[in-house]
Amino acid sequence: MDMQIITSKSEININKHFKVSAGPGAGKTKFLINHIKNVLHNSNKLGRIRKIACITYTNVGVKTIIQRLGDEIDHIEVSTIHSLLFTHIVKPYLYLINQKYEVDLEKLDAPFEHIVSRGYFIKTNLSKKYVKEDEMKKIYWEVNGSTCKLSLRNRNKDYHNSLFKYKQFFWEKGIIHYEDVLAFAWEILNSSDKALRIIRSKFPYFFIDEFQDTNPIQTEIIKLIAEKETTVGVIGDKAQSIYEFQGADVKQFNNFHLPGMFSYNMEDNHRSTENIIKVLNKVRNDITQRNPEGKVGRDPVIIIGDPLEALLKIKMELDEEVASLSYSNPMANSLRKNKKYNKDERWGAIESVFVDSSNPRRKAFISIIKSIEYARLAHYKDSIRELSRHLKNTDDFNGQQTALKVIKELTNDYNEYKDSALWELYKKIVNMECFNFPEIRESKKGKTSSEIEKFYKEHIYSDISMCVNILEDDTLHRTIHKAKGSEFDNVLVVVNGRNGKYNEKRDLGFLLNSEIEDIEEQRVYYVACSRAKKNLYINIPKITEGAKSELNDLFTIMDV
């Protein structure tokens, strides 16, 4: 079938599978909203328990779509793929395949992000096979015959049995990870006609936004569901595929085809000004976007110097809100907290920077810090969930009531410990007597302190808390990965290099020598730039004369 050009307002056949491909700001999400309304008004397949499944990549995306649907949310389930599959397939039907996995079904509540457990890793024989603990972040599932198999990214060897054993330590506690949800759901649907029939009958329409970041198992699940009864629609943009590290594979979107499927394209960019679209068109070779509303603004700016100073300067000049989009969590947190990013410090995920020889204490402390930071952003659900699993005693509400009390106290007293050594928070926590971990033996006067005592006494709370990854970040200062699908009037894109080491050829490559089809990092910066409606700023630490003359005609170049 040929590709047809549509706009976000076009009406298409509601009972045919479809795929929409288009660049940023083309109106894909707007089209999806209009299409859902079209289905709601014209389909006779919907009912009280027969709904449209509308899948988006993050919970922030879910919120956006719900807002954009307005009052018309009956007969629609807007959800992330993990949440939908967990609720409708894994939770009710895991028992069908659980003989093999032995998940504690009584304790199974909701899926978790996989955080590498040193304790469980040590209990496997993986280190004897020269697998490093850190590599466990790269664990993934792939379809293998009628079941799924565990592997490690970038490793060809078969580690399935050992990885399975590692995972079982979580499963026997009722903990399953997001990646497990997809694997379990696929296996259930592949082996149970009943489960497949039920999901098709619950969802006669299945639409998926941001499909360029689908992973191979998700694609297989969608194909199974689409075989009959359910109409599937996928929407995406190959240049916005930025989750390769989580197993997303853009080929899945490019090659996605269903029998009888219609393919559509959209050509315009309704979001940004002509000046910004010119930059986007320079980065991208496969399409040239137009600016149908003729929006014109100021030239984008390359601003050289410290990111926080750049942000403050732009805010002052525009006298408007400015969103900052960074590659790493610590940088995003630093701009949100108005605290300078120090590239000489050891930045990284909190799990990798937090040092403590006692595993229960380390885990509890990481959770306590995460929980405080989530609560400060009013993400109370995540905050309570993080904390309640470390409490000494549970209550009638699975520890949630006690967790809430603790969180309230810790957030009220935030100013007392935020700029002090972690030791302040540690003493506070010990006094609360709510957690179950061994206390740190403090050194006597004049004696050398242990590494652990030093760590707690030499690290400032606010530095460590910068390493917390905000799960569902809807603040103005986020990582680029969390800005997918969003848009802001004014955007500052922070390009500060890998681990604070800036290399112009590599880091500004998306503007100087674009290879976005091959280099994910360049796509990430492309996505960031395309979030801007009115004003785009790109912050870099320095610039060469060569780059200046190359970028002069599209950008204003200035120092902080």
Closest approach, Cβ 422 to ligand ATP, in A, equals 39
Query: Minimal distance in Å, beta carbon 9 to ligand ATP?
Result: 5
The distance of closest approach from Cβ of residue 34 to ligand ATP in the complex, given in angstroms and rounded to an integer, is 9
27 marked ligand binding residue: yes
Strands 147-152 and 139-144, bridge-based pairing: antiparallel
Instruction: Write the DSSP assignment of 452-513 as a string of letters.
Output: HHHHHHHSBHHHHGGG---TT--SSEEEGGGGTT--EEEEEEE---BTTB--HHHHTHHHHS
**Cα separation, 520 vs 286, whole angstroms:** 16
Q: How far is the CB of 242 from ligand ATP (least distance, A)?
A: 12
Instruction: Provide the minimum distance between the beta carbon of 268 and ligand ATP in the complex, in angstroms, as a whole number.
Output: 7
Q: Contact 479/324 with Cβ under 8 angstroms?
A: no
23 is in an annotated binding site: yes
Nearest CA-CA partner of 327 in 487, 514, 493: 493
CB of 236 to ligand ATP, least distance (A): 8
26 is in an annotated binding site: yes
Closest residue by Cα to residue 337 from 229, 467, 201: 467
Comparison of 202 and 295: residue with beta carbon closer to ligand ATP: 295
Cα torsion at 176, 180, 186, 188 (round to 10°)? -30
User: What 3-state DSSP class applies to 370?
Assistant: helix
Nearer to ligand ATP by C-beta: 17 or 534?
Answer: 534
Nearest to 484, CA basis, from 257, 168, 114, 211: 211
Which H, E and C letters describe 49-106, residue by residue? CCCEEEEECCHHHHHHHHHHHCCCCCCEEEEEHHHHHHHHHHHHHHHHCHHHHCCCCC
Shortest CB 22 distance to ligand ATP, Å = 6
Determine if residue 110 is labeled as part of a ligand binding site: no
Nearer to ligand ATP by Cβ, of 398 and 486: the residue is: 486
Q: How far is the CB of 431 from ligand ATP (least distance, A)?
A: 48
> Residue 211 and residue 220: Cα distance in Å, rounded?
13
CB of 214 to ligand ATP, least distance (A): 15
Measured over the CA atoms of residue 35, residue 38, residue 40 and residue 46, the dihedral's sign is negative
**Contact residues for ligand ATP, defined by CB under 6 A:** 7-9, 22, 24-30, 237, 240, 270-271, 485, 487, 530
Virtual torsion, Cα 234, 235, 241, 246, nearest 10 deg = -40
Q: Which is nearer to ligand ATP, 45 or 481 (CB)?
A: 481
Q: Which is nearer to ligand ATP, 200 or 481 (CB)?
A: 481
The CB-of-235 to ligand ATP minimum distance in angstroms stands at 8
CB closer to ligand ATP out of 4 and 401: 4
Asked if residue 485 belongs to a known ligand binding site, the reply is: no
Shortest distance, CB of residue 8 to ligand ATP, whole angstroms?
4
User: Given the complex with ligand ATP, which of 25 and 509 has the nearer CB atom?
Assistant: 25
CA separation, residue 475 to residues 366, 396, 438, 545 (Å): 22, 33, 36, 36
Largest CA distance in the chain: 80
Nearer to ligand ATP, 78 or 410 (CB): 78
By DSSP bridging, strand 556-559 and strand 301-304 are: parallel
CA-to-CA distance for 400 and 207, rounded, in angstroms? 35
24 annotated as ligand-binding: yes
List, as own/partner pairs, every contact residues 122-131 make where C-beta atoms lie below 8 angstroms and the sequence separation is at least 24, other chains included.
Answer: 123/165, 123/166, 123/169, 124/162, 124/163, 124/165, 124/166, 125/162, 126/159, 126/162, 126/163, 126/166, 129/157, 129/159, 129/162, 131/155, 131/159, 131/162
- Contact (CB, 8 A) for 61 and 32: no
* Shortest-Cβ-distance residue relative to ligand ATP: 27
DSSP secondary structure code for residue 301 in this structure: E
**Residue 27 or 111: which CB sits closer to ligand ATP?**
27
Residue among 437, 523, 471 at smallest CA distance from 60: 471
Nearer to ligand ATP, 237 or 424 (CB): 237
Q: Which is nearer to ligand ATP, 8 or 388 (CB)?
A: 8
Binding residues for ATP: 22-29
Binding residues: 22-29
